[in-house]
Amino acid sequence: MRFRWDWLRPVLQAPYVPTIGPVHPSVLTEDLFTDTVAAASGRRFLHYDKDIRWSQTKDETVLVDSIVHQPWQTMIPTLSQRGAGTVKVHLYGIDPDSVHAAVELARKLTAGHDAAVARIVRFMGPEALHGHGTRIQLMDFRTALCPPCDGPVRLHHQWPARIQDTFAAFAEQMAADGFAFLHQQMQTATIGPVLTAVVNHSVAGAIGPMEIRPDAIGTPQLMPQYFGVLPQHRGHGLGRHLWRAAMHWGQTNGATYQLLQTETGGASDGLCRSEGLTSLGFTYRQTV
């Protein structure tokens, strides 16, 4: 399927592509949408897909036959096989009636594919006064200066072995934030390095893996990381130390930019805003 840019571009309020996630505005074209749909419908990865690091096949597929593409709205439904199954309808449109149409499509497809969850994903531009949901943020290494971190942060393998061994307990406590999975990948897969913050000879926070991959037009992008600090060590600046260490790593290793998604009003959102990142818009997920 091919998309008409003169239909799609006017309703793209945020640079977000189904099954891929946020993208840099410079790569946002009709070809990107077309290529994504073609790849994801066959459970294939595009070379710039962030999830290619973790799996052999794409978990989320595009339901191509149910795409709605009209001058005033585009709806792209996807199906994730993870868990009991989730249908998401990505709605690009500003007409109030589009929301109702997206809800009806999500419910219909959920029943038809025997999925457990139906959601719609909506978008708002960066100018939204009351943006909510998830903020898309851009770190541009061409315009930012990222000096070395002066806190208790190192690449994890640079710490003494007895400190490295404490990562397992950290990962278990932070399993809900993905660190148990990351710890498993650190042991069994070839991934980029992880930065860790240490307090009292134990890992108290981490960010990683640190990896740079080309985006759709070949620009080096610092990939998304797992990022977290143990609850008992929050509020003391460790998160900021980790963040700045990661940005220094990205800049010195040749990344041009990084895209992040932060829950509005959360700690990571406040940190990124205070560090001067550019807001590119918002995504809002609604279970229907």
In the chain the first and final C-alpha atoms are separated, in Å, by 27
Mean pLDDT of the chain: 94
Question: Where does the chain hold its CATH 3.40.630.30 domain(s)?
Answer: 143-255
Answer whether 0.75 is exceeded by the pTM.
yes
Q: Per-residue pLDDT averaged across 130-154, rounded?
A: 92
Q: Per-residue pLDDT averaged across 166-195, rounded?
A: 95
Query: Comparing C-alpha atoms, which of 182, 261, 257, 270 is closest to residue 214?
Result: 257
CA–CA distance, 161 with 45 (Å, rounded to integer): 37
Say what the pLDDT of residue 94 is: 83
Q: Is 97 exposed, middle or buried (0-12, 13-18, 19+ CB in 10 A)?
A: exposed
pLDDT by residue (tens digit) across 211-245? 999 999 999 999 999 999 999 999 999 999 999 99
Handedness of CA 15, 18, 23, 26 (dihedral sign): negative
Q: DSSP letters of 158-187?
A: GS-HHHHTTHHHHHHHTGGGTHHHHHHHHH
* b/e 34-50 (16+ beta carbons within 10 angstroms → b): ebbbebbbeeebbebbb
Say what the pLDDT of residue 278 is: 95
Return the CATH number of 143-255, one of 3.40.50.2300, 3.40.50.1220, 3.40.50.300, 3.40.630.30.
3.40.630.30
- Residue where the block lists tokens 């009351």: 130
209 upstream amide cis, omega within 30 of 0: yes
Cβ atoms within 10 Å, residue 144 = 14
- Residue 60 phi/psi, 5° resolution? -105, 125
Confidence of residue 111 (pLDDT cuts 50, 70, 90): very high
User: H helices within the chain, ranges in order?
Assistant: 5-8, 30-41, 96-112, 161-164, 167-173, 179-188, 238-252, 267-274
pLDDT by residue (tens digit) across 75-106? 999 999 888 999 999 999 988 899 999 999 99
Say what the pLDDT of residue 129 is: 65
Confidence of residue 161 (pLDDT cuts 50, 70, 90): very high
- Residue 219 phi/psi, 5° resolution? -75, 130
Say what the pLDDT of residue 284 is: 95
Query: Comparing C-alpha atoms, which of 172, 8, 168 is closest to residue 90?
Result: 8
Per DSSP bridges, beta strands 257-263 and 220-222 are parallel
Say what the pLDDT of residue 58 is: 86
CA–CA distance, 232 with 265 (Å, rounded to integer): 20
